[in-house]
Amino acid sequence: MGDLLFNPNGRVARNRFWQGMVVLTVASVLVSAGSWLLVEPIGWLGALLIFPYICVYGKRLHDTGRSAWWVIGIWFAGLVIQMVLLVVFLFFILPIVMTPDQKQTFDEIMRLAEAGDSAEMQKGMEYLIEQMNDTLQRTAIALTIAVNAILGLLVGTRATMAVENQYGPVPGGDVFD
């Protein structure tokens, strides 16, 4: 597993890619939950996951005959997907799960926004975020899982090059290679 997560060279078969994605998704969820439940600075540990993500995605891209530079495009796609899912959550799902008091606060924030009172609107947003912290944290975890699943499917389902390519030999059939 160490070679999969910390060595950007070579190729990796689909089954090893999925193993790496499960490990990285669980690690991302644990970092997010730890930041929420324990101490906020734990969230910075998420930066340590960047290199393993590059390695896992890069090797899988190598296996399909593509350069690992495509990881940049994958991250961009991940940001777009995350923003779209966040907008869907904020405007369609969040109003359904709000308590009546939270809905009233939200309506007041919208009224302040229309009136151009940004200082009071900001205070209202801070209050609402504080009141909805648990819901927002669960949403962040759900978004992490959803984006990893979507991007994983986009990359993980690509066809393997059945011959040796510039990135190395065809990965063996053994899941413990």
Instruction: For the chain, give the mean pLDDT.
Output: 90
Given a cut of 90, whether residue 38 has pLDDT beyond it is: no
- What distances in angstroms separate CA 154 from CA 27, 78, 158, one per listed residue? 20, 11, 7
Instruction: Give the dihedral sign, CA 46/48/52/57.
Output: positive
Which amino acid is located at 166 in the chain? Answer: Q
Percent of the chain with pLDDT over 90: 62
At 19-37, the pLDDT tens digits run 999 999 999 999 988 887 8
Say yes or no to pLDDT of 84 above 80.
yes
Distances (CA, A) of 86 to 27, 42, 80, 91, 143: 21, 23, 10, 9, 8
- Look at the alpha carbons of 3, 69, 142, 107 in this order and tell me if their dihedral is positive or negative: positive
What local confidence, expressed as pLDDT, does residue 174 receive?
45
pLDDT score recorded for residue 177? 36
Domain ranges of the chain: 2-156
Is pTM beyond 0.75? Reply is yes
DSSP category for residue 161: P
Rounded Cα distance between 169 and 176, Å, is 16
The larger pLDDT score, comparing residue 95 to residue 62, is at 62
**Residue range 107-150, pLDDT digits in tens:** 999 899 899 988 999 999 999 988 898 888 888 899 999 999 99
